[in-house]
Structure 1
Amino acid sequence: MMSASQSQPTMESKLKSLQCHFTWEQGPSRSKLLFLKQELEDIGTEQGYSWLGHIYNLQGFIHYQLGSMEEARRLLSRATEAFRQMRNTVSDEGPWLVVNYGNLAWLHYHLGEQAKCQTYLLKIDALINEYPPPCEDELHAEVYAEKAWTLMKFSKDQKLLAADYFQRALRMQPDMVEWQTSRVIALVSANQQRDKLLEDDIMEKMKIAKDHDPENLYLAALYLEACAQRGEKIVDEARELATRVLRNPVSSYSGIAPLLRLYRVHISKDEAIDLAEEALERHPDVRLLKRCAAICYKWRIYSKSDSPLEHSRVARAISLYKEVISLYPHTSLKMQIVLASIYEESNRQEKADQLYKEMLMSDLDPEGKQVLYNSYGKHIFFNRKRSQQSIYYHMKAAVIPHHSPYRVDSLEKLQAISDKGRSPMSVEIKEFLANLEEPEYS
C-alpha cells in the first residue's frame, strides 16, 4: 500500500509542472543569455511600460542562468512589484503573478531555501484555484501572454507559436491591446522573408492593430515598411513618423530601429544616416541608438554608390563601431567582423587583418567560432586570394555541430569547390563532406 508521503507529489515534481521560465527554456547557451541580457537592457524599464513585469521576470531568469543569484532575486522581486502596479487592481494578487511566483519558487529551491520555495508553491496553487483557466487543458490568458512574449525573445523560429499563444490569450481577454499588437508583430516577424511581400491578411491585421494601438510607433514603422515593399509611396508618412519617434525616449520598442531600416532600404541611406545622427544629438548616451547609427553607416559603405562616402563619414563609422563594440562587450563579434570589413573597404588592410587575428585568438563559444571561421574564410578568399587557407576555415566552421546560416554557407562553398574539381583539395573536401555528421536539432 502506498504511504501518504509517497502519494504526495514531491517538491521537485511540483516545480517541474509549473509554467515559468525555468520550465520553458532548457539550457540556453551562454552567448544566447548574454545577447538577451543586453537586448532586455535596451528595451528599457520606463515606469508604466506594459511589459515591465515580463522584462524583470526574464531578466531574473537570465541572471540566475548566468550565476548571479542575488541579482536574480532582486529582479524577480521587482517583477512582482511591477505586475502589481501595472494591473492596478483592488487585489495585489492575480493570475499575472503565476509565472513570477514559479520563477521565485525555482530560485529558492536552487538556493536551498525549501520553506520559501514551498510558500511560493502554495501561492501558485491558491492563484490557480481562484483564477482557473476556462478549460482544464488550457493555461490562463496571462500565462499564455507571458509565454508568448518570452518565446518571441528566445526563439526566432517559433514566432508562429508565440502568435498562437497570444491568440489563445486574446480569446479569453480580447480587450488587451498590447497582446494584439504583439501577436501581429510576431506574425510579421515569422512571415518576413527577403524579396517576399507579406500576405494581404497579415497586412490587414497590421492595419487593424495599428488603428487600435496608435501610439505604438514600432508597429507603425513595420506597417510603413511593409507598404514600401509593395511599392506604395511612404516618404511623407515616414518623415512624419520620424518626427514622432524622435520626440520619444529611445528603446528597442520605440520604433527607431525599423524606421531607420525603412529609410535606408526604401528612401535613402544618406537620409538614414542623417536621421540617426539627429536622434543621437537628442539622445547622445543611448547605446542602442549608436548601434543603429553604426548599422546605417555600414550599409552606406557597402552600397557601392556612385558617390563614395566622404572620408570624414568613414571615420565616423569606424569611431561608432569601436564605441558600440565596447558598449556590447559580450555580443560584439559580428560588429567586430563588420569593422574589419570597413577597414578593408577603406584600404586599411593591415587593421582588418590585425582585428581578425585578435578575434581568432579570443575565447569564443562554438557558435561564435562558427561565425568567425565562416567570415574569415570569406575574407581571406576574396581579399587575400588564399583559397586553400579559406577552405580550411570553412571546414572548421562546418564541423562545428551547430545549425546556422554560417554553417550552411560554408558547406555550400565547400560543395561548390568539390563539384568543380579544380582545387588541389577537391578530393579532401569530398571525403570531408561525406564523413561530416549532421548536428541534431535542439
Structure 2
Amino acid sequence: MGFVKFLLGSNTEALSYFERSVELTKSHGNECDKLLVVVYGDLAWLYYHMGNFAESESYLNKLSEIKEKYPSVPYVEVLGEKGWTFLKFSCKYYERSKECFKKALELEPDEGEWNAGLAIVLYRTDDLFQNSPDSNTVDQLRRAIATNPDDDVLKVLLGLRLGLHERYSEAESLVEQALEKSPEHPHVMRYVGKFFRHHGPLNKSIALLKRALVKVSNSAFIHHQLGLCYKKKILDLKKAGSHHTKGAEMNRAQEQCIYHLEMATKLKPNFILAMSELALQYGENQDILKAEEMFQNAFRVAKAKKENYQTVHLYYAHFQQYCMRCESAAIKHYMECLKLNSNHYERNKSVERLERIAKRRIENNPKDGEAFGILGIVYKEKGEKQKAIECFETALSFVDNEDYLSDLCELRLSLNSTQDSSLKTTLLQLECHFTWALNKNDTDLTDLLNRLEEQLNLDLGREAGVARTHRCMGFVKFLLGSNTEALSYFERSVELTKSHGNECDKLLVVVYGDLAWLYYHMGNFAECKSYLNKLREIKEKYPSVPYAEVLGEKGWIFLKFSRKYYERSKECFKKALELEPDEGEWNAGLAIVLYRIEDILQDTSSSTATDQLRRAIATNPNDDVLKVLLGLKLVYHKKYSEAESLVEQALERSPEHPHVMRYVGKFFRNQGSVDRSIALLKRALVKASNSAFIHHQLGLCYKKKILDLKKAGSHHTKGVEINRAQEQCINHLAMATKLKPNFILAMSELALQYGENRNMAKAEEMFQITFQVAKEKNDNYQPVHLYYADFQQYCMRCESAAIKHYMECLKINPERYEAKKSAGRLEGIAKRRIKINPMDGEAFGILGIIHKEKGEKQKAIECFETALSFVDNEDYLSDLCELRLSFQ
C-alpha cells in the first residue's frame, strides 16, 4: 500500500503505511530483522525522494547493521516478499514472481508461504494462457496444501486444475471440503463459484458468487465471474428450448450478464477481458453501435497497456462473424489473433474457427483460392509444413496473392534448413538494402514511392543517381510484397549501372546484394548463389573495403528513407568523404543531410550546414538546388544580399526544376513574398502533382497570407479574401495528408486550421488521429503537443489544457524548436498570471519547470519554493527535492 501511495504521488500516506508496516513486523518478536529489510529500503528511498537525507541515511545505517548481523544473502524473506509483490502487481510479472519463489524454496523447501506463492503463480500462469493441464502446477498445489493444510483457497485451486484433468471425483471432494470449512471466505466462494460454473450446478455458482459479492462488493473479479455465469445460462437456455418458450428467462439472464460485466469494467476500467465480453454481449443483444464503441475502447486500452490484444481480436472476430455476419472482417481478426502469440488459448480458438470457415467454403466451392490460403496459414501455424505448402500451392493455382507466395517460399526455405542457414550467414554479411536495418514502420512507403517515381519521371539526378533510384524502388516494391516488380527494378538498375562502362564493378555491389537477397526470399537458391559468386569476384578484384560507392549509396538511402536515419546518413557520407574528399556526390549528400537536421531542430546558431553547402557547391557548381538551400541557411545568418543572389541565380538557371522551384518558394515565403511563392509552388505542382511536400508548402503560404491579411485590415474589409485563403490553406494541407497519410506536421497544421475555421469537432478528430499516428510511428510527438496546445489556447480558450500540452511538448526534448516555443508560451502565460495575482502558486510552478528544463537550477528552486508557499503540490515538491539533491 505504501509503495502504491508513493506511485500515486502521496508521500505522506506512503510514509504512514510504511511506518505501520514496521510496527506490525516488530510485533513478531526479536527475530524480525530480516523481515524489516524491504520496508527499511522503502523508507530510505521515500525519505530520499522527500529530500530528507538525514532520515534516508538513518535507514541505510539500520540496513548495514542487519547485513553485519546476517551477512549471508540473499535472505529468503526478501525473495518471498519480492515474489508476492510481482504476483500482485501485474500478470506481466508472473515469470519473475515464479523465479523468486523458486529461489526462496531452494533456501527453505518446506516453507508454506513460498510453496503457496509458487503454486498460485503457476495456477495463474496456466489460467492466463488457458494452457493444457500441466502436472507441475497440480504437483505444486499438492505440495502447497501439504505445507498449508488449512488453506482452503489452495484446495479450490487444485480442484479447478483437477477438473481440467477430468478427475472430477477428487476435484469435487476438495471443493466441497473447502466450502464446508470456509463457507464465508470470499476468495473460497469466488473460486468455488468458478468451479461450479465449469463443472457443477450453474445456479449454485451464481448463488455462491452473489454471497461473495455481499462481502466484497467492489470485486471486479466476482462481477466478471457472474457475467460469465449468466452468459452460460443463456447458452443453456437456448439449447434447452425455443426462444419463444424461454424468451423472458433469457432476457433476464442477458440483462444480468450485461449488468455484471458493466460493473466489472466500471470497477476496473482496464479490465480488457470483461470489456471484450461486454462488447460481444451488446452485439448479441443487437446493440451494435454500443458493441462497436466498446470494442474500439478495448482495442485502445489493449494497445496502451500492451496486453490482451489477442483476446480483443478473438472477441471482435466472433462479433463480426456471428452478430454482423461479416465473414471477411471476422477472418481478418482471427488472423490477427493467430499471429500474436503461439501459446495463447485465443490463438488455438482462432485456428479452430478459421479451419472451420475454410473447410466449409471449400466444400461449397472447391476452387476457392482464399479458403485454401486460409488453410495454408492454419497448417503453417500448427507446424504442419508439408500440408501448408500443398494448400498454398493449391491457393496460388486459383488466385494471385503475394502473401501466399511469400509464405510458400518461406516454408520451402525452412524445409531446406541446412542450405538456408549457410546461405543466410553469407547474405547477412552483404552491404545492401536488405542488411541496412531499413524498417518499413519508420517511413511512409506510399510517400516514398511517390517521391521515387517523381525522380524517375522527371529524370532527376545523374546517371548513377537514376540507377540508385531504381535500386531503392526495387527494395520498396519488395517491402510492399511485390517480388516480381522488385526484380524488374533491380535488373534495370544493373543495366543502367553497366552502361557507365567497364569501371562499374563497385557500383554493382549493392544491387548484386539486393538480387541475392531477393532470390533467397523467392526460394531460388541457384540464382542467389550466382550473385554471391559475382560479389566474391568483385571483392577479389578490389580487396580494399569499405568502398566509397557503397558508403555513399548507404548515405543516400538513409537520407531518403526516414528522418529518423539522418544521423546514420551523415556518418556514411562522412566516411565516404574520408576516402574521396572531393567527390561531389558525397559532399552534396552531407550538405543536404546537415541542412535537414538543422531544419528539424530549427538551429540558427550552427554554421556546419552552411560551410558544407559552400563546399558542396564548389564540387557541384551546376547544382542549383544546393544554391537555394544555402540561400535559405544564409537568411538565418542575416546575409540577405548573398542569399537573394544565390536564389535568383538558381531560379534563372533552372526555372523548371521542381526541387529548385519548391525550395525557392519556401525562400520567398520566409522573406514575405507570399504571392510570388504561391505562383512558383503552383508551377512546381504541375510537374510533381503527387508531391505532399509542395502541397504542405502551399498550405503554409496561405496560412501566412491569412495572417498578413488580418494585419493589413479589418475582417470586414478583407473577409472574402481571408475566406478564400483559408479554403486554399485547408485544401492543400488536406491533399498533403492524403498523399502522405502519416505526414504528422501537415496533419497537425490541418487540425489547427480546422480550429481556426471554427470547425472544432473536425479539428479535435484530426488531432486525435495525429496523436495516434505519432504514437504508432514513435515520431514527431512533440510538434503534435505544440499544435494541440495552441488549438486549446487560441481556439478553445482552455488554458489548463493548453498548459498541459505545452508541458508535454517541453519535456520530450527541451532542445527542439517546439520545446522552445512551448517554453516561450508557458512563460508568457505564467508571467501574465503572476501580474494579475502575485500569489498564483501554479504560475510560479510553471516558471520553475521552465527554468528546470533550461538547466537554470537556482532559479527553478526559487520558483518551486515560492509556488509551495502558496499551494500544496507533490510534483513541485518532487522537482524541488530532485534539484536540491543535484547540488549535493
Output the TM-score relative to the length of structure 1: 0.74
Contact 1:235 1:267 in 2 (8 A): no
Which of residues 629, 638, 641 in structure 2 aligns to 1:230? 638
Contact 2:792 2:798 in 1 (8 A): yes
Partner deviation per Cα, 1:45-68 (whole Å, 9 max, x = no partner): 544732122222223223333433
1:29 match: secondary structure: helix
Contact 1:373 1:397 in 2 (8 A): yes
Shift of 1:354: 4.8
Which of residues 467, 492, 500 in structure 2 aligns to 1:78? 492
Which of residues 409, 416, 433 in structure 2 aligns to 1:21? 433
2:524 is the alignment partner of 1:116: no
Map of 2:537 onto structure 1: 126
Which of residues 635, 649, 653 in structure 2 aligns to 1:244? 653
**Which letter does structure 2 place at the counterpart of 1:338?**
E
Map of 2:694 onto structure 1: 289
Higher RCO (Cα < 8 Å, 6 or more apart): 1
Contact 2:699 2:733 in 1 (8 A): yes
Q: Distance in 2 between matches of 1:430 and 1:409?
A: 24
Map of 2:776 onto structure 1: 365
Shift of 1:221: 0.5
1:331 match: secondary structure: coil
Map of 2:586 onto structure 1: 179
**Which letter does structure 2 place at the counterpart of 1:161?**
E
Contact 1:132 1:140 in 2 (8 A): no
**Which letter does structure 2 place at the counterpart of 1:69?**
N
Q: Distance in 1 between matches of 2:451 and 2:847?
A: 39
1:156 match: secondary structure: helix
Contact 1:395 1:410 in 2 (8 A): no
1:118 match: secondary structure: helix
Relative to 1, partners in 2 of residues 1:334 and 1:257: Cα closer, same or farther, differing over 3 Å?
same
Q: Distance in 1 between matches of 2:531 and 2:820?
A: 48
**Which letter does structure 1 place at the counterpart of 2:580?**
L
Partner deviation per Cα, 1:261-281 (whole Å, 9 max, x = no partner): 22122352343223323444x
Partner deviation per Cα, 1:296-338 (whole Å, 9 max, x = no partner): 223444668622763322222222222333222x324432321
Identify unmatched segments of 5+ residues in structure 1. Answer: 1-5, 435-442
Map of 1:106 onto structure 2: 517
Map of 1:59 onto structure 2: 473
Q: Distance in 2 between matches of 1:94 and 1:13?
A: 23
Q: Distance in 1 between matches of 2:531 and 2:682?
A: 48
Deviation larger for 14-23 or 338-347: 338-347
Partner deviation per Cα, 1:124-162 (whole Å, 9 max, x = no partner): 1111212333xxxx3122112212222323412335313
Q: Distance in 1 between matches of 2:805 and 2:672?
A: 38
Shift of 1:37: 3.8
Shift of 1:411: 10
2:565 is the alignment partner of 1:160: no
**Root-mean-square deviation (Å):** 4.3
**Which letter does structure 1 place at the counterpart of 2:745?**
K
2:266 is the alignment partner of 1:266: no
**Which letter does structure 2 place at the counterpart of 1:79?**
S
Deviation larger for 354-363 or 381-390: 354-363
**Which letter does structure 1 place at the counterpart of 2:755?**
E
Q: Distance in 2 between matches of 1:80 and 1:121?
A: 15
Contact 1:218 1:255 in 2 (8 A): yes
Q: How many residues align?
A: 410
Contact 1:60 1:72 in 2 (8 A): yes
Shift of 1:123: 1.0
Matched ranges for 1:409-424 at <5 A: 416=846, 419=849
Shift of 1:410: 12
Shift of 1:102: 0.9
Map of 1:257 onto structure 2: 662
Shift of 1:242: 2.6
Q: Distance in 2 between matches of 1:279 and 1:48?
A: 14
**Which letter does structure 2 place at the counterpart of 1:17?**
Q
Contact 2:590 2:612 in 1 (8 A): no
Map of 2:422 onto structure 1: 10
2:507 is the alignment partner of 1:96: yes
Q: Distance in 1 between matches of 2:710 and 2:492?
A: 49
Q: Distance in 1 between matches of 2:871 and 2:654?
A: 56
Map of 1:337 onto structure 2: 748
Partner deviation per Cα, 1:228-274 (whole Å, 9 max, x = no partner): 333231445533433433333x2xxx323322222122352343223
Map of 2:613 onto structure 1: 206
CA radius of gyration, larger in = 2
Relative to 1, partners in 2 of residues 1:116 and 1:235: Cα closer, same or farther, differing over 3 Å?
same
1:262 match: secondary structure: helix
- Structure whose residues are more often helix by fraction: 2
Contact 2:696 2:736 in 1 (8 A): yes
Q: Distance in 2 between matches of 1:292 and 1:49?
A: 23
2:725 match: secondary structure: helix
2:470 match: secondary structure: helix
Relative to 1, partners in 2 of residues 1:204 and 1:331: Cα closer, same or farther, differing over 3 Å?
closer
1:162 match: secondary structure: helix
Which of residues 751, 756, 763 in structure 2 aligns to 1:352? 763
Q: Distance in 2 between matches of 1:26 and 1:358?
A: 25
Shift of 1:97: 0.7
Contact 2:556 2:569 in 1 (8 A): no
Shift of 1:167: 0.3
Relative to 1, partners in 2 of residues 1:276 and 1:46: Cα closer, same or farther, differing over 3 Å?
closer
Map of 2:330 onto structure 1: none
**Which letter does structure 1 place at the counterpart of 2:538?**
L
**Which letter does structure 2 place at the counterpart of 1:244?**
R
1:10 match: secondary structure: helix
Map of 2:179 onto structure 1: none
Identify unmatched segments of 5+ residues in structure 2. Answer: 1-417, 714-720, 827-841, 850-863, 882-888
Q: Distance in 2 between matches of 1:48 and 1:389?
A: 47
Relative to 1, partners in 2 of residues 1:213 and 1:395: Cα closer, same or farther, differing over 3 Å?
closer
Contact 2:699 2:729 in 1 (8 A): yes
Contact 1:18 1:102 in 2 (8 A): yes
Shift of 1:95: 1.2
Percent sequence identity is: 20
